[in-house]
Chains A and B, each alone.
Chain A
Amino acid sequence: MASGSVLTARRWSVVMAPLVVMSVTLSLICLQFGTQWIGLSQIIDILGQVLREETVESEHIGTIGVILIQVRLPRVLLGFLVGACLASVGVVLQALLRNPLADPYVLGVSSGAALSVALAILLGVGTTVVAFSVLPLFGFAGGMLSLVVVYRMAVSYGRLPIHALLLAGVILNAIFSAMIMFVTSIMEPNRSVGTMTWLMGTLTAPSYPAFAVLACYLLGGLFLLLRQARRLNVLTLGEESARSLGIDTEHVKRVVYVLSALITGAVVSVSGMIGFVGMVIPHAVRFLLGADHRLLLPASACIGGMYLVSADTLARTLLTPTEIPVGIVTALAGGPFFIYLLVWRKDRFA
Chain B
Amino acid sequence: MSLFPENAHSMIDKAPGLDAVASRRAYQVRALRFHYHPLSRGDVNWVLVGLTFEVEAGEILGIVGPNGSGKTSLLKLLAKVLRPHAGAMALFGRDLGTMPQIEVARTVAFVPQESPQVFPFTVMETVLMGRYPHHHGAKWSAGFGWESAEDVLIAEQAMQSTDLTHLAGRSVMDLSGGERQRCMIARALAQAPQVLLLDEPTAFLDLQHQIEICAIVRRLKEERGLTVVLVSHDLNLASQYCDRILMLKAGTLFRLGPPHEVIGVDVLRAVYGCDVLIDRHPESGVPRVTMPSYISTMNVRDRL
Chain A residues close to B by CB (< 8 Å) = 1-9, 12, 94-95, 98-100, 226-231, 233-234, 236-238, 240-241, 243-248, 286-287, 290-292, 294, 348-349
Contact = CB atoms under 8 A, between A and B. Distances in A.
A290 B123 CA distance: 12
A2 B121 contact: no
B124 A5 contact: yes
Interface in B93-122: 100-106, 108-112, 115-122
A244 B165 contact: no
Contact of B125 (A12, A233, A241): A233
A317 B255 CA distance: 78
Given A2-B156, A6-B124, A237-B115, A246 B132 contact: yes
Contacts of A1: 169
B168 interface: yes
B111 to A, nearest CB: 8
B178 interface: no
Nearest to B199: A240
Given A5-B122, A244-B105, A236 B144 contact: no
Contacts of B102: 246
Contact of B143 (A5, A227, A240, A286): A227
Contacts of A236: 117-119, 121
Nearest to B170: A5
25 contacts: A2-B124, A3-B124, A3-B152, A5-B124, A6-B147, A12-B146, A98-B118, A100-B119, A226-B144, A227-B141, A230-B143, A231-B132, A231-B142, A233-B121, A234-B129, A237-B115, A240-B79, A240-B81, A241-B115, A243-B80, A244-B109, A244-B110, A245-B191, A246-B103, A246-B104
B145 interface: yes
Contact of A9 (B105, B146, B152): B146
B118 A245 contact: no
B133 interface: yes
B99 to A, nearest CB: 11
Given A99-B118, A238-B112, A245 B129 contact: yes
Interface string B70-100: 0000001001110000000000000000001
Given A2-B165, A233-B121, A238-B116, 5 more contacts: A5-B125, A228-B143, A234-B132, A246-B103, A349-B118
A113 B12 CA distance: 53
Contacts of A348: 118, 173
B246 interface: no
Nearest to A349: B118
Contacts of A95: 119
Given A244-B108, A245-B132, A291-B120, A6 B81 contact: no
Contacts of B100: 246
Give 10 closest A-B pairs by Cβ, nearest first. Answer: A246-B105, A246-B102, A244-B110, A2-B168, A291-B119, A246-B133, A5-B122, A349-B118, A227-B143, A291-B121
Given A3-B124, A227-B143, A291-B119, A237 B129 contact: yes
Contacts of B141: 227
A247 B102 CA distance: 7
B130 interface: yes
A226 B119 CA distance: 18
Given A5-B125, A236-B121, A227 B105 contact: no
A100 B168 contact: no
B32 interface: no
A99 B248 CA distance: 36
B159 interface: yes
A237 B118 CA distance: 9
A95 B119 CA distance: 9
A16 B62 CA distance: 49
Contacts of B116: 98, 238
B294 interface: no
Contact of B120 (A6, A244, A286): A286
Contacts of A247: 101, 132
A240 B112 contact: yes
A4 B132 CA distance: 20
B245 interface: no
Residue of A231, A244, A286 most packed against chain B (CB within 10 A)? A244
A42 to B, nearest CB: 41
A301 B234 CA distance: 49
Contact of A6 (B103, B112, B152, B165): B152
Contact of B81 (A5, A12, A243, A291): A243
A95 B120 CA distance: 12
Nearest to A239: B81
A99 B117 CA distance: 10
A3 to B, nearest CB: 6
A100 B147 CA distance: 26
